[in-house]
Structures are given as structure tokens and as C-alpha cells.
Structure 1
Amino acid sequence: MAEQKIFGYADRFSVKEGEQIRFYVNCDGSDIAEAQLVRLIHGDDNRDDGPGYIEEEIAHPANGSWQVKKQFTQLGNFLKVDDPENRLKVDGSLSMMAFIWPSMPQNGVRQTIMGRWDTCTNEGFALGINPEGYLQFWVGDGKEVDYVTAEMPLLKHVWYAVGVSFDAGTGTTTLYQESVLNRYNSLIGPAVPYDYASHVRTRLRFRQYNRPDIPFLIGGARDNHVLRGDFVSDLYAGKIDRPFITDAVLPREAMDRVRKGEAPEPGGLLAYWDTAAGYTENGIGHDVAETGPWKLHTRGVNHPIRGMTGWNWNGKNDCFRLAPDEFGGIEFHPDAITDCAWDETRTIEIPHGLKSGAYAIRLRVGPGRGIAEEYIVFIVRPAQPKARLAFLVPLASYLAYGNETLSFDAQIVQPMTGQPPIISDVEIETYEHREYGLSTYNHFEDGAGVCFSSLKRPLINMRPKFRNSWMGVPWQFPADLSIVAWLEHFNYDCDFISDLDVHREGVEALAPYKCVLTGTHPEYVSERMLDAQEDFVAQGGRLIYTGGNGYYWCVNFDPEEDAVMEVRKLDSGMRAWAAKPGEHYLQTTGEKSGLWRNRGRAPQKLLGVGMIAEGFETCEAYRRMPDSWHRTVSWITEGIDGELIGDEGLAYGAAAGVEVDRYDLSLGTPPHTKIIASSGGHTDNYVLATEEILYAYAGMVGTLDYRIRADMIFYTSWNHGAVFSTGSIAFGQALPAKGFEGTASKLLRNVVDAFIKDGPLPGQKWSLEEKQWR
């Protein structure tokens, strides 16, 4: 019997009572899957120190057998030309030209730069790169393929002007290849004595045969398979800038003029895609403008990356908003994915009265111990806010880590964690199914960092039972379920909302609540999310940050399709990759990405603490600081004997660790902030965050650097607003320990119970004493 596997995703993450949610399922080896709606309560299956895995089956009409099928995924990004009248169905002479910056010219497969080519039937024409890395033009008549190949191979990360002219009457074909590298735009510079040029003329034996249904594509070619039908293969890796096609035979002199920056001659011009056109203060969309006579605009598939430097970038301007003409590069990756685009499997309606919380459709196929299982996770919001407390679910961070494969791909994992990863079957499954895309901690095959992540694909490591092998503990959504279990255990009335809801709705999404509680690791936030939470606190709201390394990276969501998130990792911060020079701004919004700290909004300004170190080996307890005994804040530690807080936990045995944040007045911690407790004694696996380092020197490790600690803080805001922060990812996973009766749990109960009440907080009548206390 064939191995059975099942994967799925939904059209949304957050859904209200009475609304519908659509599911998309791919199944190998079976056409029936058993579906069950479940409420997710706790993810960590550690029964020695915690409650173990907990889910609740929910009665729903959708429960039972679902018809499922094998579905295919189009991997790779490319541009598809809108050509309903077949203006580009050139049966006679033609010329094509583009600027290219190949990133994998010798990857052993053919790559199509542009053309109308059918790989399955060998029909049409295309300009591309052969498997050995040479520029090539080919034509096919459905029986044979004839081609002309350049003499010099293309170099990786070097800008070229490339083109072809084909005289259908004589078969004479001229291939054009010239470097346009300058001091800034390529990997190597003008001092390198390499002959980049190639000008080859030959006579092809026949002209192209063009079926009318073959699409003109930029960055790929049409293909077909008996099971999946039409798809795109021969995918290109690298940048393409300002391609065009004409039905004239262009002489070398005309191509030389284009290489020097002139526009193509209008005579015979069929299409000229101005890849530098359309930039605004708010970014650029997916359509590439065609400025020729027929306006044959293109649409990006799987988010080709824009806002990238082009062939003529001169290094002066680092943002496409300042010099758009120098940012015509569009970057393509054969292993990119932002939408699996599967057929819909099932739509269900969320019934009124269903408790707000974390849910999933659980899908199972297969017999006995060979069962395959998928959880398609979502949250349910109330139709109207009901509770005084809201749990703010950090979807942006789930997307950032979605399908990460660091245990396989990152050699630094073992020295970072001090332990070898013990790979699980689920992680092997993630690695095997690269067609479901990567995380923003991964690299594409050509070495570039992944800057887009999407909900429209299976996110395998969001399954509630998932345990991160290189850390050995739950991470992101499965870790946040420890907070969910704590809320459930103490029967708190709590509404669930996602940070994407806040991004869409602003402070209005938070305003109905007295208190908002974050997840364990809300690392990725948009400007709208930050603005909303800052306004919420200033207007009298109360924020509890139960995490570490929060509000760190600046991200945004595609305005046309906000299931897709974008981030650029810049030249600071703890990061898996760094964007290339000149490519630091988000194409989706036009704003600079990177650390919020480097845009004047360090996490300390809102949370009171910010990232200082990470280590994935052990955790420590907090120790109470002198502030904690002051009567303005002593209520926070009421009922806790002794000085230690959080000397228990499901993540390495204590509440302070994994990634930790500290109080820092120089970065905007409010000056009246109280330090309730601090950790210490972290191991040397905890290393100072790179953004803290100006000069590197020995000793920036846990046992030697006093800055490496988690600070637990409290400060008040306007209108009885307040912020309480734990500064540790591990804190949330300490809550279920000791039957939910540990010191971390007791402390958080004190804070939540106070924060959800109207009026002044306990101890505020003594707040004037702060002047003497400090």
C-alpha cells in the first residue's frame, strides 16, 4: 500500500462566529479523510512536568468523512503576460532583449528568461540559459528544436544586457551578450579581467511553430503533465530588468543603444515591460506595466520580488522611492511559493455561540499506527467583543517561522543550542515537501533569503503537537498553547484576536478590552500593529507582554493579498540572512524594514524591555529586585514566598530564558518603570545580540556580561493604563508547571486579575512616592 500523507491550509486564520472558512486539502494515497473540529488547549505533550497534550472535540456538521484528492503546487515565481489577442504569437522575424542578473546560471537545468515556449511539445521560441550556464535562444516546430548558444558562460550575480535577433526569412540568428557591470551593481567590479561579451551569428534550420494557447512568460515556460495538466517549468533564477520584444530584426547597433540606457526603438515594438515604472511612496503592486502599443501588462505569480536594484544602480540611493529608474530589477526564485492555489475541499460555517479560542480541523487518513494526521489551525473571534481580556495571537511571527528547516539547513544550530537536533518525522516531512515553501529563516536554493511568507500553503510546524527539534521544546504556536491552557485552567473569559486583525482594524480591534495578553514570541510586527497597541495603552488599556524578543522586526502585509507577509533582514539584528545593498525597503508598502529599533521604535518604548540575548540550552529563575517590595507594585508578587520566581517550567525547567529582554533607559524604557525581577546566571550559550555590539570583544556571554538577563517590569500610562512585561520566551511555558500552581502562574494571576478591573490599579494611590523611590 502506498504511503498516505495529508496536508492542508485555510483561506484565513481568524474567523468570527457566523462566518465561513474555506479549507484546501491535498492527500496522497486516499480519497477519504476523517475530519473533526477540535478546540486546541495545550500543545506540549510533556506529562512529567505539565498537563500533556489537550484538545477538545467539538460537535459540528463538518465532522466526518471528507472527499479529498491529490493536488499539485506550482512552485517558483514568474510573470504571466496578459495577451488575449495573441499579439506576441510571432510566427516570423523577432528580436528580444533584457538585462539579466543570473543567480544560478550553472544549476544543471534550462532556465527561460522570456518567450512563448511549450516544454512538453517543443513548440515556440524562447531566450534563456542552458544547463551549462550559457545564454541560448531556441525555436521549436513541434518535432525538433534548433538553437544558438553564446561562447562565454554567464557569471553569477553579474549584470548583462542579453538579446537575440531572428530573421525568419533567412534563419539568420544573432545572439547578443554584453556585461553592464559597474562599480556597484554586481558581485565583482570593473577591475576583474574577464571577457563577458559574446556575439554569435548562425543560421537556424526552421522557424518557430506557435500554437495560440501557448502563453508568453517571463521567468519560465509552459509545461504539461498527464496528471496535473499545465504548469510552468524551466524557471529562471535571478533578476530581470526591462525586457522587450519586437517583430523587427534588430542590428547590433540598436542593441548597443539599449545597453547604454536608451529605450528600444518604437518601430516593430510589440511589448516593452518597464519594470521600473509604478513605484510610489507606498510601494509597488504585482502588475508590471507594459508601455508598448498594446499594453500587454504582466502579473506576478508567487510574488516575484520587486524593489530590487537594477542594471543601472549606481550605489547612491538605497531606496526605490528615491531613484525608481535604478530599481528595475525583479528577482525570481524557482523554489518560491506564496499560494498553492489548490481547489477548495470544504467550506464550513462557524456556529454562533462557539467559544472564542484556538481551533483546528483535524484530518486523518490511514489505518492503525500508520495514520497520517494534519491540523489546519485557525482562531475564532466573537461576533462582537464579549470579554474584558483578549489574547493577541501573533500570526506574523507564526508566518515568519512557517516551515523552517534549520535542523537540516543551518550548520550553526548545534553550536547555538549546545545540543544536536533530534529530528522528528514531522520535520522530515517538512524537509521533503519543499513545494510548501520556506520560512523567513531559510534561504532559497540560490542563497538569497526568503522575504515572503504566506498563509496559503500548509504550515506544518503550526501543528499543535509540533516540537522544535533543534531546541527540543515547543515553539511559536505550540508554545503559545501553554498560555491558552493557563487561561482555560483558571476559567478566564477571554476573546482571541490575531495581530493581523489589529493590522486591519487598528486600535478599534483592541479598544473594547481592558487588558490584552501577548504570546510567547511576538517578534514580527507591522507599523499598524505597533501604533494600535501604543494607542491602546495611552488610552488606558493594559498590556501584558508574556514573551521575549518581541516587537523586533518590521514587517508588512501585501495590501492586495494580506495572507502574504513581507520582511527584509538588514545589517543589524540576530538574523539568518541579510538583504543586499539597496534592497532594504518593502515592496508592499515602501517602508524600511529591518529592526524597529533602527527606525526609532525600540521595543523598550512600549514594552519597557527589548531583546538582549538568546540561548537554547537552559533557563533560569527570576530573582526579585528591590522595586518589587515597593507598595506601588508589591501586589504583583503577593502570595509568592521568597525571592525566586519561575523556578519551574516546561522549557528547560524555568521561566527565564530561550530569548530574553532587558530594561534599557538608553533605548526608551519609560523612566518610571519598576523592575520587579531579573534573571541571572545564564550559560555561555547566551550570547549578546548583535545589535548591541559596536566592537566585538571576548566575554559577551551569559556568565560574564551583566546585560544578559530577563527583566520583568511594570509601568503605568495615561488614564490608568499600564504595561507588564516578562522579557522571556520561556515564561509562557512555565505557566502549566506544577499543576498551574507555580510562582510564574501565581504572579501572572495577580497581574491579570488586577488589569481586567476598572479604575486605578492596586498601589496607584501611592504613585507620588515614586519621586522619592527613584
Structure 2
Amino acid sequence: MIRGYAEQPSPRAGGQVTLRVATDAPRFRVELFRCGDGLTLCEKSPWLPGVDAPPHLPSHDWGEPGTGLRGEHLPAWPAHPMPAPAEPGVYVAVLVEGDGDGCDRTDPDRTTADGREAKALFVVRPARPSARVLYKLPLLTYHAYNLIDGHAYDPGSAAGHWCLYNLPRPEEVPGGLAPGVGLHRPGGGTGATPYDITNFDPYDPTPRQTYVHWDGPFVAWLARRGYAVDLCTDLDLHREGAELLEPYRLLVSAGHDEYWSDAMRAAVARHVAGGGNAAFFGGNTCWWRVVFHDAVTFSRVGFWHEEGAPENELIGVSFRNGGERDRDEHPVPVGFRVQHADHWVYEGTGLRDGEVFGLAENLVGYECDGAAFDREAGPPYTPTGADGTPPGFTILGVGDARASGWGLGNGAATMGLHTGGGTVFNAATTDWVRGLATSPAVERITANVLDRLG
């Protein structure tokens, strides 16, 4: 058994990344792959000493000594510093166990960045900004669902791990430790088991809440299409704020960017108010508000709309008017019905008002966002603004979920955009990326947004 994580989730090119690794093997080595349109082997480390270490509590920094639920001492996981790659991008460290005599003891899958162990993901940022577009990985969301080994916390036995979906009560945690989750532990995109791994996607067998399900395919598409982008994590956005975004015209997020801190949201709002742009090719975006207890541990404290600042104000739409789709119970596909087909977003698609795209791809789901609108008014629909959606938000496509028996609030995903200094585009569905492989309309709309706003 071998697990590890990158202590610096997003080092600068030419800097240092420290891998924290625990293994019962006498030796291990690191094979480093760059993730783009496939995996490219970049380097291999020499054999390194293998040292075993117990798992810590999910809210601990596993690189520091800690205390278990029964008061037992937990040693820090061993550190293995190494130079960060010179080329920016997304990287996965594949951890290969050795027998101590120079031979591999395990043969981890090197064809994918995904894995329940033996892998660690990190982003290499450029030494200085080098593109007009910044793509952000949702590190907080990855860890919100991260159960490490897949064994959920059991208060009766005090065994297993917790995530933000099965938190212990405060009195069950020693020393009054806030029962949040930390970033310094295995997981964070790969190398561990998501809480909802059994909530499978019948159209994509890769686990949700991991890099390979949404972000990986989007990053691969960007590489195939030749888009120059810099990358970061939302931890960078939290720590650096609006200063991080100043060199860029466009911030891009995709898939499931669910967990946002005050600092993250304020930074994007300031970026847009100052004329910068943002594009969200995902759903359930900015749903939970989180607070950090220290540099690496955070908890969720409520929904943004319950905090008096509905997410619609920034991103234009909300999960309150979209909802979650259980594809086993609701197999009827949903696509977007076009309105305002003459808008630049639709340029080159050939789509006309009233036509539907994305139906074959089951584009709307598994979670989607919408703006409240009056269904009785008939198309083209316009937002009522009752839910906090900006009055200038233009609904370009409606994915009606009610007809297939699911949805929250108004029960419809609404793809669209608004301008308030800069422009904010929202595709309003987590599974938008699926269409990049098979839907010319989805691919052209995505390119139109990147070309116009980036």
C-alpha cells in the first residue's frame, strides 16, 4: 500500500514540490506525468526510502505530528522534496513501490491520472503569467468529498474518515478541533476515494469529484485545440485574491466548482467589476460558502444564498433553480433549447431559435443551475431577478428538467451571460465537458466564449 500527496498543490515552475508519502514497501520511486491530451512521462526519481505512517484525522495537516481520536500519537508523513517541473501544467505523480532489490513491487496504471491510491495531483504555475486565460482547478471541492480510503467515519467505532458530507459532532473530536477537512492529505483530485463514488455516471465510468471526470477532459480539449492557458487552484485564488487575476482577461472554471470562500468570491467579483471576464463551464457553482481555520483546513458554513449574497449576483444562475439529476431514476436526456440564436455565443453553430442541442450527450446534469423566469410568459424567457440574478442576464438556452421528472425551484438549467464591467458566461451544467467530444455545437460555443472573452 502506498499513498501520498503534494504539500504544495500549485508550485511555480522551477520551484520545489514536496511529496509526502507513506508506504509499507522498503523502497519507492516517483514517475512524473504531465496531463494534457493524454499523459506524458517527464521524469523518474531514483529509489527512495519507504517509510510507513498511519493516516491522520481528515482535518489535520498530515505533514505534521498529530493526535488520533483515542489520543494516540500520529507521526508526520515523510517528506520528499523534488524540483518542480519547468513546464507549467497539471501533473500526476505515480508512486511505484519497490522490493528493496531494485525491482518494482507494484505496477500502477500509467494510462490515466485516476487512482484510489499511489497517485498525487498538483499544478505547476508559470514563473510569471504567460497567457490571457487562467484555468482554475476546484481543489476545495475535490477535498470536500475526499474519504481517503473510502471508509466513511463511524462514530460508534471512531473508525474511518470523514468528509464534509459525513462530519462528526464536535464532541466526538479531541481537543475541540473544528471538524472540517484539510488540504494536506492524500486525495485532492486523485489518489483517494470520493464520498459519492457509488453515485456513478452511466455515461462516464470515471468517478465524479476527481480530476479525470470533468477537469481532465477540459484540459485535454484545450491542449488539442491549441489554447494557451495558465493554471491554478482555488487555493491560489483564496490566498492571492484579485491580484492573481489582474494579468488575465478570462478566468475559466469547469465541472463541479462547488465550494467558495469569501476571498475567492470577492476576487472574482472585483475582477469582473474591473472589466475582466469569467466563464463557468460547470454546474452547482459557488453553492457552499467555506471558511478557513488555518492555512490548510476549511469548513463549510452555509449556502451562499442563505448568507444574504446569492451566488446568482456573481455567476448569474443558482442550483436552487436547477437541481441534481439521479440518472438511474431520471434517464430521460435533457439538452438546451436555443433562444437568441443570433447572439455571438451561437456564431457558427447553425442553430436556430427553438432547436435543441446536447440531447444525445445528456448535456444537462448531473447538477445544473438556473435563473428564475416566468414559465407562463413563453420564449424567449427573461429572468425575473427574484432569486438575485442580475437584470442584465441573457438566457441563451433552457434545459427544462421538469419534463423528465427532476429539478429544483424553477426546474430548468439556463445557459447565458451578463455583463457588469466584464462579462460572465455560464454553461450551467456540470456535464458540459461531455459535449466537447461529440457535439459540434458545444465545441463551437466553448470556442466562441474563449475566443471572445479570452
Q: TM-score, normalised by structure 1?
A: 0.48
Instruction: State the one-letter code of the partner of 1:389.
Output: V
Partner of 2:140, secondary structure, is: helix
After superposition, the Cα gap between the structure-2 partners of 1:640 and 1:682, relative to the gap in structure 1 and judged at 3 Å, is farther
Which amino acid in structure 2 is aligned with residue 566 of structure 1? Answer: S
The structure-2 alpha-carbon separation of the partners of 1:77 and 1:754, relative to structure 1 and needing over 3 Å to count, comes to closer
Q: Distance in 2 between matches of 1:712 and 1:39?
A: 32
Aligned mate of 2:29, from 4, 12, 34: 34
Q: Note if contact 2:369-2:413 (Cα within 8 Å) is conserved in structure 1.
A: yes
Match of 2:451 in 1: 753
Residue 278 of structure 2 aligns to a residue in which SS?
A: strand
- 3-state SS, counterpart of residue 546 of structure 1: strand
Work out whether 1:444 is the aligned partner of 2:168: yes
1:364 aligns with 2:74: no
> Quick check: 2:316–2:426 contact (8 Å CA) kept in 1?
yes
Matched, 1:547 2:257: no
Q: State how far apart, in whole Å, the 1-side matches of 2:212 and 2:51 are.
A: 28
Name the residue aligned to 1:457: 185
Contact 1:36–1:64 (Cα < 8 Å) also in 2:
no
1:596 shift after superposition: 0.9
Distance 1:748 1:369, change over 3 A: farther
Displacement over 4 Å in runs of 4+: 74-78, 230-234, 366-370, 404-410, 445-450, 464-467, 681-685
> What is the rounded CA distance, in whole Å, between the counterparts of 1:563 and 1:654 in structure 2?
37
Given the alignment, which residue of 449, 466, 470 partners 2:199? 470
Kindly state the Cα deviation for residue 731 of structure 1 after the two structures are TM-superposed.
Answer: 0.9
Distance 1:663 1:63 in 2: 51
Alignment of structure 1 residues 123-522 onto 2, 5 Å: 235=70, 341-344=76-79, 346-352=80-86, 354=87, 356-365=88-97, 371-372=107-108, 374-403=118-147, 437-444=161-168, 451-459=179-187, 462-463=190-191, 468-472=197-201, 473=204, 474-476=207-209, 477-479=211-213, 480-522=215-257
- The residue type paired with residue 70 of structure 2 is L
CA drift at 1:73: 3.8
* Partner in structure 2 of residue 72 of structure 1: 54
Q: Tell me by how many angstroms 1:522 deviates.
A: 1.0
CA distance in 2, matches of 1:407, 1:667: 38
Aligned to 1:676: 396
1:232 Cα shift?
5.7
Q: Percent identity?
A: 26
Q: Alpha-carbon deviations, 1:489-519, whole Å to 9, x = none?
A: 1110000011111111111101110111012
Which amino acid letter does the alignment assign opposite residue 469 of structure 1? T
Aligned equivalent of 2:10, options 14, 19, 29: 14
C-alpha contact (below 8 Å) 2:133/2:229 kept by paired residues: yes
Which one has a bigger Cα radius of gyration?
1
Is the CA contact (8 Å cut-off) linking 2:149 and 2:193 kept in structure 1?
Answer: no
- Whole-Å separation in 1 of the counterparts to 2:69 and 2:11: 39
Q: Secondary structure at the match of 2:20?
A: strand
Q: Is the 8 A contact 2:4 2:191 kept in 1?
A: no
User: Which whole-Å CA distance do the structure 2 matches of 1:377 and 1:41 have between them?
Assistant: 13
Could you tell me how far apart the structure 2 residues matched to 1:526 and 1:77 are? 17
In structure 2, relative to structure 1, the CA distance for the partners of 1:406 and 1:606 (3 Å cut) is farther
Aligned-partner Cα distance in 1 for 2:199–2:256: 17
Secondary structure at 1:544 match in 2: strand
User: What corresponds to 1:25 in structure 2?
Assistant: 21
The answer as to whether partners of 1:379 and 1:496 remain within 8 angstroms in 2 is: yes
8 Å CA contact 1:734, 1:745 repeated in 2: yes
Q: What residue identity is the alignment partner of 1:58? A: C
SS of the residue 2:47 aligns to: strand
Measured after TM superposition, the shift of residue 349 of structure 1 is 1.2
1:727 aligns with 2:428: yes
2:199 aligned counterpart, secondary structure: coil
Amino acid across the alignment from 1:37: L
Does structure 1 conserve the Cα–Cα contact (< 8 Å) formed by 2:7 and 2:18? Answer: yes
Distance 1:457 1:619 in 2: 39
Provide closer, same or farther for how the CA distance between residues 470 and 408 of structure 1 changes in structure 2, counting only shifts above 3 A. farther
Output one character per residue of 1:544-599: Cα deviation in whole Å (capped at 9) or x when no partner: 0111111111112234xx121222xxxxxxxxxxxxxxxxxxxxxxxxx2011111
Return the offset for 1:682: 5.5
The answer as to whether partners of 1:463 and 1:478 remain within 8 angstroms in 2 is: no
- Structure 2: which amino acid aligns with 1:564? T
CA distance in 2, matches of 1:15, 1:527: 23
Question: CA 1:234/1:21 → structure 2, altered by over 3 Å: closer, same or farther?
Answer: closer
* Structure 1 residues 683-722: aligned runs within 5 Å: 686-688=406-408, 707-718=410-421, 721-722=422-423
Relative to structure 1, the CA distance from residue 539 to residue 620 in structure 2 (aligned partners, 3 Å threshold; closer, same or farther) is farther
Q: Is the 8 A contact 1:619 1:656 kept in 2?
A: no
User: Is the alpha carbon distance of 1:537 and 1:646 closer, same or farther for their aligned partners in structure 2, counting shifts above 3 Å?
Assistant: same
Shift of 1:350: 1.7
CA-CA distance at 1:75 after TM superposition: 4.8
- Choose the corresponding residue for 1:526, options 258, 261, 265: 261
> What is the RMSD computed on CA atoms of the aligned residues?
3.4
Aligned AA for 1:455?
A: L
**Contact 1:407 1:470 survives alignment (8 Å):** no
2:42 maps to a residue whose letter is I
5 Å matches for 1:611-690?
A: 611-612=319-320, 613-617=323-327, 618=331, 620-626=333-339, 628-630=340-342, 633-641=343-351, 643-648=355-360, 653-664=361-372, 665-681=385-401, 686-688=406-408
Partner residue of 1:599 out of 307, 311, 324: 307
Inter-partner Cα distance in structure 2 for 1:464 and 1:492: 30
Cα deviation for residue 448 of structure 1 reads 7.0
Matched with 1:49 is none
Q: Distance in 2 between matches of 1:72 and 1:40?
A: 30
Letter in 2 for 1:385: P
Question: Do 1:602 and 1:667's aligned partners in 2 also have CA atoms closer than 8 Å?
Answer: yes
1:40/1:358 contact within 8 Å kept? yes
| TM-score normalised by length of structure 2 | 0.80
CA–CA distance in 2 between the matches of 1:621 and 1:381? 37
CA gap of 1:465–1:743, structure 2 versus 1, over 3 A, is farther
Match of 1:610 among 318, 322, 326: 318
CA pair 478-463 structure 1, distance change in 2 beyond 3 A? farther
Contact 1:526 1:556 (8 Å CA) reproduced: yes
1-side partners of 2:58 and 2:233: how far apart? 29
Secondary structure of 1:512's counterpart equals coil
Deviation, structure 1 residue 35 = 1.5
Rounded to whole Å, the distance in 2 between the matches of 1:619 and 1:730 is 15
Structure-2 separation of matches of 1:76 and 1:14 = 20
Relative distance call for 1:77 and 1:528 in structure 2 (3 A) is: closer
| Residue identity opposite 1:23 in structure 2 | L
Residue of structure 2 in register with 1:227 after alignment: none
Q: Note the residue ranges of structure 1 that are not aligned, 5 or more in a row.
A: 43-53, 79-229, 237-333, 411-432, 568-592, 693-706, 757-774
Contact 1:13–1:379, Cα closer than 8 Å, also in 2:
yes
**CA 516–399 in structure 1, closer or farther in 2 if over 3 Å, else same:** same
